[in-house]
């Protein structure tokens, strides 16, 4: 089985292509002018066990926010497209992931309704190399919005911003992996309403 999708976004600020296969093996290829952000996207694909390709370019000299947020938008659109009618998916997933001093929790519901909760303190104004760690909030919010999912993220503790962001990415990845998995016991869509 394969559930692939490709989405492109070209604006005067960014040029982005995302290819995803929800039933891949975790193979990732990421090209972005923001090395740490690229590293986090690789972690997301690997730990979600998606095949993920991201090609992203843009006006990062003006403001990296444009690129980070737009990648979240395009990745969310690609996930939504790859899910198709969502028949047979588990729909919900959650994960608690440690990364050295950091501990992050993610919960996902692929409900078709976007909602985003960010219970993360300590990233605003912090950098990993030259990357503004606070931009990850914009990435995850865009992912939840365009992926039409509930995404709740909590950082339970963590001092190092690199470890905190990586734990959040890995927790999101593991929760998504669980939510998109096909459960042979699920007939149709997993909803009492009969639709997502």
pLDDT in tens, the chain (196 residues): 799 999 999 999 999 999 999 999 999 999 999 999 999 999 999 999 999 999 999 999 888 999 999 999 999 999 999 999 898 999 999 999 999 999 999 999 999 999 999 999 999 999 999 999 999 999 999 999 999 999 999 999 999 999 999 999 999 999 999 999 998 888 777 666 666 6
Give 23's DSSP letter.
T
Specify whether domain 4-180 bears CATH 3.40.50.1000: no
How confident is the model at residue 1, as a pLDDT? 78
Note the pTM of the prediction, 2 decimals: 0.94
Place of tokens 């395009």: 74
Range 101-129 burial, b when 16+ CB lie within 10 A, else e? ebbbbbbbbbbbebebebebebbeebebe
Q: Say what the pLDDT of residue 190 is.
A: 67
CB distance 121 to 150 below 8 Å: no
Report helix, strand or coil for 133. Answer: coil
């Amino acid at each position: 089985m394969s559930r692939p999708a490709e989405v492109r976004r070209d604006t005067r600020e960014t040029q982005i292509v995302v290819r995803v296969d929800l039933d891949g093996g975790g193979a990732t290829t990421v090209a972005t002018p923001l090395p740490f952000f690229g590293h986090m996207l690789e972690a997301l694909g690997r730990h979600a066990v998606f095949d993920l390709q991201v090609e992203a370019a843009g006006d990062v000299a003006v403001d990296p926010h444009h690129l980070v947020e737009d990648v979240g938008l395009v990745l969310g659109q690609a996930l939504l497209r790859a899910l198709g009618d969502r028949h047979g998916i588990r729909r919900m997933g959650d994960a608690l992931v440690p990364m050295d001093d950091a501990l992050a929790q993610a919960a996902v519901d692929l409900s078709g309704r976007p909602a985003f909760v960010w219970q993360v303190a300590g990233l605003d104004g912090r950098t990993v190399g030259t990357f503004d760690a606070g931009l990850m909030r914009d990435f995850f919010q865009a992912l939840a919005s365009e992926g039409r999912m509930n995404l709740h993220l909590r950082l339970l503790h963590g001092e190092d911003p690199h470890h905190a962001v990586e734990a959040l990415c890995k927790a999101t990845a593991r929760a998504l992996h669980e939510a998109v998995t096909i459960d042979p016991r699920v007939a149709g869509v997993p909803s009492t309403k009969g639709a997502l």
